[in-house]
Structures are given as C-alpha cells and as structure tokens.
Amino acid sequence: MDVTEILEAHKSKFDPITVEKLVPLEFDVNLLTAFDTGALDESLIKQNDQIEQYIKDLTRDNTQLLVNELFKLPVQSADAGVLAQLPNRISILPREKPLPKDKPLTRWEKFAKVKGIQNKKRDRMVLNEETGEYSPRWGYKGAKKEGKLDEDWLLPVPDHGDPMEDQYAKVREEKKGRVEKNTKRRRRNADEAQVPVKPTKFTKKK
C-alpha cells in the first residue's frame, strides 16, 4: 500500500520549519528573544482584510526561527528532563532603579581608615573553659552572662563598698548603662553617616 500521497497531504496541513527571510533576524537566545529589523509589507498593512493574517504569519515565522535556534543549543540531562544550555545574554537591559549611592563612613570607619585599622572577624562560638562546651559569644545563651546567679555564683564586694549592696543588681545596672551608651554612640554615628538606625530590644520604636 502506497501511503506517500497520504503523508504528503498530511504534511501540507502544516507550515514548514524552514523560513526564508530577506533580512536575517537577530537573536538573544538567553532572553528567548528575536529581533526582526526587516521592513513590513506596506501593501498588506493598508488592507484591513489582510493585515491580521499578515501579522499572524509574520509572528509564526519569527517564532519558528527562534525555536530553530533553541534546538541548536547543547543539552544536558536533569531530573526534570533534557534541558538546553542557554548562552550568555547579549542584550543590555536598563536598570529599573538608579545605582545605589555609596554610604558615608561612620566616625569609627573614618578613624580606622586613617589609622590603618582592619576589622578582624571574631568567631561567634567561644569555648567555656569551665564547662568545656562552646557557646555563642553574644546573644541568646551567650558566653558572657553578667549578674547571673548560676554563672557568677560569687561576686566580691569592692573595697570601701557597701556590704549590704546587691552586687548582682549592680552588675546588671552597669551592663544596662553600657548598652545605653553604645546605643547612643550608634545613633550618633548613624546621624553623622545619615543612615537609618535599626531598632534593638533596648531601643523603642518611634
């Protein structure tokens, strides 16, 4: 049984995958984009009964050329299936927002720059020699706990100090004072650098 005529009839129902263009398209396959710089057929554009079909045919041909470019790309296997490896982007898209401005240096950063001081990042976890365990240097379950009965079970009374004074409350108040002092310094540095200050548990949100 000769099925050549049947196959040809079936094939004629579909447009070919090869498209001839007078002006070749420019592709940016990374963005799945094709640029057609060719001139439009003004005779068809001016005819209201043919312009819609003309635009559809033009779009179909250009899309076919873009798909042809995709099938030329190298592929790799993945869990989701066979994926094409897109090339680098060619088109340079404009930024949505302007470039961020350089942040002004804080008072400490200016001082460190003049003195040539470089910040050294300390490890967050420190070893507690008494327990032999590592604990955070600061924050929740921090290694340095002042005024805690379970950590500082014995606090000496200073010379000429009041023996009836609660040393644990005194340590906590001193720590609170240091935190407030550091907060004021941080606000001052932020005001000088004109940057917003992030609120902490020791500062009230306004």
Closest CA to 62 of 90, 26, 30: 26
3-state secondary structure of 204: coil
Radius of gyration of the chain (CA): 36
Is the pTM higher than 0.85? no
For residue 94, what is the DSSP state?
P
Residues 61-90: what's their mean pLDDT? 92
Q: Which position has the token pair 């306004």?
A: 206
142-181 residue pLDDT tens: 655 554 555 667 778 888 888 888 888 888 888 889 889 9
Tell the burial category of 23 from Cβ atoms under 10 Å away from its Cβ (0-12, 13-18, 19+): exposed
Q: How confident is the model at residue 206 (pLDDT cuts 50, 70, 90)?
A: very low
The tokens for 167 are 């040393």
Buried b / exposed e over 70-104, threshold 16 CB at 10 Å, is eeeeeeeeeeeeeeeeeeeeeeeeeeeeeeeeeee
